[in-house]
Amino acid sequence: MQILWHFPHTVKNSFKPKYDRILWRNNEEEFNAWCNGLTGYPLVDAGMRELNQTGFMHNRIRMLVGSFLCKHLLIDWRWGEAYFSEKLHDYEQSSNIGNWQWVAGTGVDAAPYFRIFNPTTQIQKFDKELKYINKWVPDFQELTYPTPIVDHKLARERCLETYKKALNQLF
């Protein structure tokens, strides 16, 4: 709340202005797949389906889905922030903005832009028994479950290149 009070520009802009130079892809089809839990990454999809059905999501999963949106898909954190503002029952503006900027790497005490969660290894760390995934994505082992909309390795490389390019601009 203090950040939002003292730096009201963070509602619409990155806390660190140089991050406003990021050239987001903002692919609407990929955004819709993310919103609907159809990315082909079961833990990301579980989180989004839980959010859409209940209005809640565990903090660990919020970090993962936020990182996936901003860093795998290169979709502007403001799109995710706006979506969460509509869906979360525990929405609070300053926390939501701060958390989205943290995960995008554009905020006050941000995760470094090169910290990109691997949505597959996150399963091994936090849902080894697939209880969460099975609850929210019962179709993930069926032929109808979507293939990943982006390759993790390629998305990671694209993200790093995009962020570096934006941060190395002189103006």
pLDDT tens track for 144-163: 999 999 999 999 999 999 99
3-state SS of the chain is: CHHHHHCHHHHCCCCCHHHHHCCCCCCHHHHHHHHCCCCCCHHHHHHHHHHHHHCCCCHHHHHHHHHHHHHHCCCCHHHHHHHHHHHCCCCCHHHHHHHHHHHHCCCCCCCCCCCCCCCCHHHHHHCCCCHHHHHHCCCCCCCCCCCCCCCHHHHHHHHHHHHHHHHCCCC
Give yes or no for a contact between 37 and 126, defined as CB atoms under 8 angstroms apart. Answer: no
For residue 165, pLDDT over 90 is answered with: yes
Domains of the chain: 22-167 (1.10.579.10)
Give yes or no for a contact between 106 and 77, defined as CB atoms under 8 angstroms apart. Answer: yes
- Please work out, in degrees rounded to the nearest 5, the angle formed at the alpha carbon of residue 15 by the alpha carbons of 20 and 80: 70
For residue 24, pLDDT over 80 is answered with: yes
> What does the buried/exposed string (b/e) look like for 83-98 if buried means 16 or more CB atoms within 10 Å of the residue's CB?
bbeebbeeeeeeebbb
pLDDT of residue 171: 55
For residue 111, pLDDT over 70 is answered with: no
This prediction has a pTM of: 0.92
pLDDT of residue 91: 87
**Mean pLDDT in the chain?**
91
- C-alpha 161, offset from chain centre: 18
For residue 29, pLDDT over 90 is answered with: yes
